[in-house]
Amino acid sequence: MNTVSYNREAWNQQSIRGSEWCTPVSSEEIESARKGDWKVILTPNKAVPKAWFGDLPGKALLCLASGGGQQAPILSAAGAKVTSFDNSDEQLAKDLLVAKRDGLEITAKQGDMADLSAFPDSSFDLIFHPVSNVFVESVLPVWKECFRVLKPNGRLLSGFMNPAFFLFDHDELENAGEPVVKYSIPYSDKSDLPPEKLEKIQRDKIAYEFGHSLQDQIGGQTAAGFVIADLYEDDWSDEASPLNKYFRINMATLAIKLEVPQVI
């Protein structure tokens, strides 16, 4: 089974089991968003600055790999015309559940974030892409496709993992308490984990993860044609990872598809 198919099933199982990323927002949060009181996250904790969205109402917005009944419904209630595109059928179902419950209009499509061929060029004003490219083997096609489907002057709001997170064996870190570098970047569960750990991931239906270099995460966006307009870092929690006390595990960027000739 290839990575896309395997991770689709793994995320379907995680969504069924439930987690903080698979719990739909409440009707009260939707009602607040309709009144202009809303926030969404690209990373675990920090709210995305509203300035990153520009004038949101009426804008065509693609929620990319962010299913789960959270960001897409909030952004729809805030006035955007939302399409949710996710690899997981169960995560998309939660977006549609909230939409039906609270009278929102959300279009849901299942697919691979690295293949947006379901959409014509220049389809969207905004793309909202929270931490999720950790689940694709190469992030470069994701950036290229985002650039293609955005309108000129469109905005890409992305969250992703600090690649340093993948340098360490997290089981050993939990046991020993001190980080020891074991892996290199780029990192792949499929090629870097010892067979017994990979087999356990597969038995437990846990999604494969991949650690991309900053050159691919940030340089990949500029190589696709984007201009990086802003960036912030975010922590996680000590419960989520002992590495939280050493460095910011997540970061987010605002990239713009400017209507200017590309400079090499």
pLDDT tens-place values along the chain, 264 residues long: 799 999 999 999 999 998 888 999 999 999 999 999 999 999 999 999 999 999 999 999 999 999 999 999 999 999 999 999 999 999 999 999 999 999 999 999 999 999 999 999 999 999 999 999 999 999 999 999 999 999 999 999 999 999 999 998 877 777 777 788 889 999 999 999 999 999 999 999 999 999 999 999 999 999 999 999 999 999 886 676 777 777 888 999 999 999 866 555
pTM, to two decimals? 0.94
For the chain, the 3-state helix, strand and coil shares in percent, each to the nearest 5, are 40, 20, 40
- pLDDT for the residue 247: 80
Angle between helices 3-17 and 89-102 in degrees, nearest 10: 50
- pLDDT for the residue 236: 80
- pLDDT for the residue 261: 60
- pLDDT for the residue 193: 94
| CATH domain 3-162+217-256 topology | Rossmann fold (3.40.50)
Contacts of 50 (CB under 8 A, 6+ apart): none
- Radius of gyration (C-alpha) of the chain in whole angstroms: 18
For residue 186, whether the previous peptide bond is cis, meaning omega lies within 30 degrees of 0, is yes
